[in-house]
Amino acid sequence: MIIVTGAAGFIGSNLVRGLNRAGERDILAVDDLSDGRKFENLVDCGIADYWDKDALLERLNGSPGFVPRCIYHQGACTDTTEWDGRYMMENNFRYSTVLFDYCRAAGVPLIYASSAAVYGAGDCFEEDAGTERPLNVYGYSKLLFDRYVRRRLGAVQSQVAGLRYFNVYGPGESRKGPMASVAWHLHNQVRQDGEARLFEGSGGYAAGEQSRDFVYVDDVVDVNLWFGRHAEVSGIFNVGTGRAATFNQLADVVIGWHGSGRKRYIPFPEELRRAYQSFTRADIAKLRRAGYDRPFADVSAGVKAYLDRLDGYDSKRSGHGR
């Protein structure tokens, strides 16, 4: 059996569907459905069982006869504006260490989600301790677990792969609220109001010229599945396109897809000034050296594919297209 934590979430549910496409159905989905509306992400997923996230740790440690083939650990609090450090560290760090210790003892491959948030406001995004300066407690919780893994990698016989996701977008993120991708928010703004709202200049960047490495969720899933097929590869790796696109460029793709709309620049929120990444671009040299050689979709191709899929989903629900 394969375990996917965070299975009802954005990336987790896409990963389950990716495993399904690869012929996997013996999947244990793990999540916290306190917000029961997240069930929608699991409806079209082929799974064998579902466990609550708290039950997972108890059952893994209390059932010595049950040994999964692999654990894809995607579950976490991903709200970068959450400042409850106790909550964040318990969910993102402590929970992950218990999973890691179990996998090390049982010899189970662990492929887990880290984050580009560990790099903070720097301009170098190489997987190196000298580049890691998180701006918020979310980024710190991810970094602390990466450090926990690094200190123990030499003593682990089974695979441990940490994947530092950059700015992921794609189907299944509608329940993420403010933490949904820029592409999702701009799409809804243009659809509802005819305008894409971007931040004015900040951090030395002109209006809308803040840049991110936007990566399509299908590519993120493909990287996860590649590691699942290559249990000999361990370490911490960036997962992004290796390119940065401006928010202006992203808005232009969204407006072009809609066929109309305009950009409007709004004041930069004061509360974000000390905790905002104005620029990210994954250094994917280590991932390439490990053997992953597939191309990543650029913003133009990825966002168009995303909006086409959203349009198809909305059309099925409403009975008509755009």
Domain parsing of the chain, residue ranges = 2-168+216-239, 173-212+243-280+298-318
Q: Which of 281, 88, 76, 248 minimizes the C-alpha distance to 162?
A: 76
**Is 176 known to be catalytic?**
yes
Work out the burial of residue 240: count CB atoms within 10 Å of its CB; fewer than 13 is exposed, 13-18 middle, 19 or more buried. buried
Looking at residues 103-112, what average pLDDT do you find? 96
Alpha carbons 72 and 156: distance in angstroms, whole number: 17
Cβ–Cβ under 8 Å, residues 50 and 41: no
Reported as half-sphere exposure (CB side, CA atoms, 13 A), residue 239 has a value of 30
What share of the chain in percent tops pLDDT 90? 82
How many Cβ atoms sit within 10 Å of the Cβ of residue 34?
8
More confident residue, 204 or 49: 49
306 alpha-carbon distance from chain centroid: 15
Type of residue found at 279: F
Token pair, residue 18, equals: 């990716």
Tens of pLDDT, residue by residue over 114-161, are 999 999 988 899 999 999 999 999 999 999 999 999 999 999 999 999
- Pick the closest to residue 100 from 140, 55, 145 (CA basis): 145
> What band does 313 get if pLDDT is binned at 50, 70 and 90?
low
Q: Report the top-level CATH class of 2-168+216-239.
A: alpha beta
208-261 tens-digit pLDDT: 999 999 999 999 999 999 999 999 999 999 999 999 999 999 999 999 999 999
Cα separation, 134 vs 280, whole angstroms:
13
- pLDDT tens digits, one per residue of 265-294: 999 888 777 778 889 999 999 999 999 999
- 72, 102, 138, 216: the catalytic one is 138
Point out the catalytic residue in the list 176, 265, 286, 304. Answer: 176
Annotation marks residue 138 as catalytic: yes
Cα 129 versus chain centre, distance: 21
Does domain 173-212+243-280+298-318 fall under CATH 3.40.225.10? My reply is: no
Q: How far apart are the C-alpha atoms of 310 and 187, rounded to whole Å?
A: 10
Angle 292-76-4 from CA coordinates, rounded to 5°: 60
